[in-house]
Amino acid sequence: MKPIENGGPWLGPLGRDADVVVASRVRLARNLAGFPFTNRASTTQRREVVSMVRDRAQGAAWGRMLGWIDLQACPAEQRTQMVERHLVSKQFAASDAPRAVGISADETLSVMVNEEDHLRIQAMYSGLRIDECFAAATAFDRGAESALDFAWHHRWGYLTACPTNVGCGIRVSVMLHLPALRLTSELDRVRRAAKDLHLALRGFHGEGSEPMGDFYQLSNQITLGMRDEEVVGELRDRIIPQVIRYERLARETYRSKAPAAARDRFIRAAALLTHARLMPLDEAMKLLGRLRLGIASGLTEAIDSTLVHRLLLQVQPAHLALARPSDPMETLEQQSAARATLLRDALAPLRASIG
């Protein structure tokens, strides 16, 4: 995998509403007609599915942009790195059955073959760019369906292994930074409202993950009885703008009520990140989150959020190990030391500015 500086869908330009929105993603679930779903497919059938999808994609304009990685032949560390970059799911990386992922050069498009469904088509961009994600995923989907027969049912639409994806098979998710809503204890209200609207609020790495650094993913749960454009439109026009407004309001309130505390929080985070000799992952995420809030609040101009986003990736274990092959990384302490060094180096401009 190429050096991280050259790409990564959330490392691009920050885009609209970047003070709150980190990245947007659209995922489509599809299965091939005539094959059992992944959970019932034999090893031979799974291999057939991989080669059928890959061969047809490689020979066509709609799929030629993907470079393919055979997960069975891929070292564990690289698989974990793809999870950290949100290119594949954790379960997909951990499985040992035949499976593959196609990734575009700029990493905005990735297609997992033999995840829970035969195809998981995913498009990701930085900032609030749901439309671009939807367009990219749909373009691949339409191309693919000209060459592959997708499982379809007269009543249930696109068929998927799990009932939660049946219908249009779409999952729109937006990664949000919500530190002020948590600080003002209003996150539970957002969570309840999200539940009522059939949305899920999850942690940094999606399903089953813990929130880290106040980063959350908000995504639709309903895929049946709504057109895919409606699902996209509802999140883009109604729900996400509302959450952004709430978070900005909470930031305003926090800043005006406790301006010294807000500044102190930022300075402490900056001081620790630029001086600590050991930095565990959860602490790094938490402090980087505070840094991001400080940047959005205009507390520093020494660094910008793109650097913070890049660091959010680079501090993850597999990224750290692959970027520093000569550093010893056997123990958590060694890992923490390497992480602390990386952060001190990257944030040198910030150290100078806080004096």
Partner 1 sequence: MKCDQCDKPAVVHETVITAGVQTTVHLCAEHAMVQMHHVPASAPIAELLAAHLTGQRHQPACGGCGMTLAEFRKHNLAGCSACFDALSPVIDQAIQRAQGGATAHCGRAPARRDDAEARQAYRARLLSDLEQAVAAERYEVAAQVRNALREVDGITGQQA
Positions touching partner 1 (CB under 8 A) are 31, 33, 35-37, 39-40, 116, 142, 145-146, 149-164, 166-168, 198, 221-230
Q: What is the DSSP letter of 170?
A: E
Q: Between residues 162 and 261, which has the closer beta carbon with respect to partner 1?
A: 162
* Residues 48/53/57/60 CA torsion (nearest 10 deg): 80
Find tokens 């594949």 and name the residue: 88
* Cβ density class 73-103: b for 16+ within 10 Å, e for less: ebeeeebbbbbbbbbbbbebbebebbbbbbb
Amino acid at 209: S
Q: Cβ 174 to partner 1, closest distance in Å?
A: 20
Contacts of 257 (CB under 8 A, 6+ apart): none
Q: Cβ 50 to partner 1, closest distance in Å?
A: 18
Closest of 72, 78, 32 to residue 55, by C-alpha: 32
Q: How far is residue 319's CA from residue 84's CA, in Å, rounded to a whole number?
A: 8
Amino acid at 326: S
Q: Cβ 166 to partner 1, closest distance in Å?
A: 6
Q: Is there a contact between 49 and 30 (Cβ–Cβ < 8 Å)?
A: no
Residue 43: alpha-carbon gap to chain centroid: 29
Q: How far is residue 94's CA from residue 92's CA, in Å, rounded to a whole number?
A: 5
Q: Cβ 43 to partner 1, closest distance in Å?
A: 15
Q: Is there a contact between 168 and 227 (Cβ–Cβ < 8 Å)?
A: yes
Q: Cβ 154 to partner 1, closest distance in Å?
A: 6
Q: Cβ 56 to partner 1, closest distance in Å?
A: 15
Q: Cβ 28 to partner 1, closest distance in Å?
A: 10
Find tokens 């205009």 and name the residue: 298
Q: Between residues 222 and 321, which has the closer beta carbon with respect to partner 1?
A: 222
Amino acid at 276: A
